[in-house]
């Protein structure tokens, strides 16, 4: 375990940072689930509105380096594709 004062402080900081990272990652997952839920419900307008709101959440979490920027881009791309596919299904 941490013996020096500096090591103990670093351990305390790590605990706080981990708690913050966990809450931010949870917010990310909730935002993604909200878009998926709107897509499953079948209302494209609502899905687009929820997607716009979740984009800022995804980007902000990527900016804080909780997730990699490419992972954020992949999530946004797949959610956007799911919303676009709703229009194709409705038109067919």
83 pLDDT above the threshold of 90: yes
The predicted model gives 52-61 an average pLDDT of: 97
The pLDDT value recorded for residue 79 is 97
Q: How confident is the model at residue 91 (pLDDT cuts 50, 70, 90)?
A: low
With beta carbons less than 8 A apart as the criterion, state whether 84 and 76 touch. no
The pLDDT value recorded for residue 3 is 85
The predicted model gives 75-87 an average pLDDT of: 94
The pLDDT value recorded for residue 86 is 87
From CA 37, how far away is CA 44, in angstroms rounded? 11
What share of the chain in percent tops pLDDT 90? Answer: 88
């Amino acid at each position: 375990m941490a013996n020096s004062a500096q090591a103990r402080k670093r351990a305390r900081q790590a605990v706080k940072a981990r708690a913050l990272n966990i809450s931010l990652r949870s917010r990310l997952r909730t935002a993604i689930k909200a878009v998926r839920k709107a897509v499953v419900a079948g209302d494209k307008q609502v899905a687009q509105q929820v997607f716009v709101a979740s984009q800022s959440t995804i980007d902000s979490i990527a900016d804080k380096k909780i997730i990699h920027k490419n992972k954020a881009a992949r999530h946004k791309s797949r959610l956007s594709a799911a919303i676009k596919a709703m229009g194709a299904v409705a038109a067919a």
